[in-house]
């Protein structure tokens, strides 16, 4: 999925369409969200990922969803986005 926005706040970029969900931006957004969600991890990325993955598995269990299958689909999406 590609989202774009028109930037009008800079003379050199005025009217240009600039992507607003590049992999780097997505990584920054999830890091900000996880840091807010798990403040005890004090920003350690490995800990944040571990806590989030654990909680996502709990969520999958609660809704009777196969985490592994969902993870595989997410991985395929990741590969597609990374290749762009």
To 10 degrees, the CA torsion angle through 26, 80, 53, 37?
10
**For the ranges 2-6, 60-64, 77-81, the one whose mean pLDDT is highest:** 60-64
Whole-prediction pTM: 0.71
Q: For residue 10, what are the CA distances in angstroms to 16, 59, 83?
A: 10, 43, 29
- Secondary structure tally for the chain: helices H, strands E: 3, 2
1-49 tens-digit pLDDT: 444 443 444 445 566 666 677 889 999 999 999 999 999 998 799 999 9
């Amino acid at each position: 999925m590609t989202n774009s926005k028109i930037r009008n706040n800079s003379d050199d970029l005025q009217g240009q369409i600039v992507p607003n969900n590049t992999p780097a931006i997505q990584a920054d957004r999830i890091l900000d969200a996880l840091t807010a969600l798990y403040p005890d991890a004090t920003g350690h990325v490995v800990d944040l990922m571990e806590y989030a993955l654990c909680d996502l598995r709990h969520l999958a269990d609660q809704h009777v969803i196969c985490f592994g299958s969902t993870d595989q689909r997410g991985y395929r999406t990741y590969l597609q986005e990374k290749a762009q």
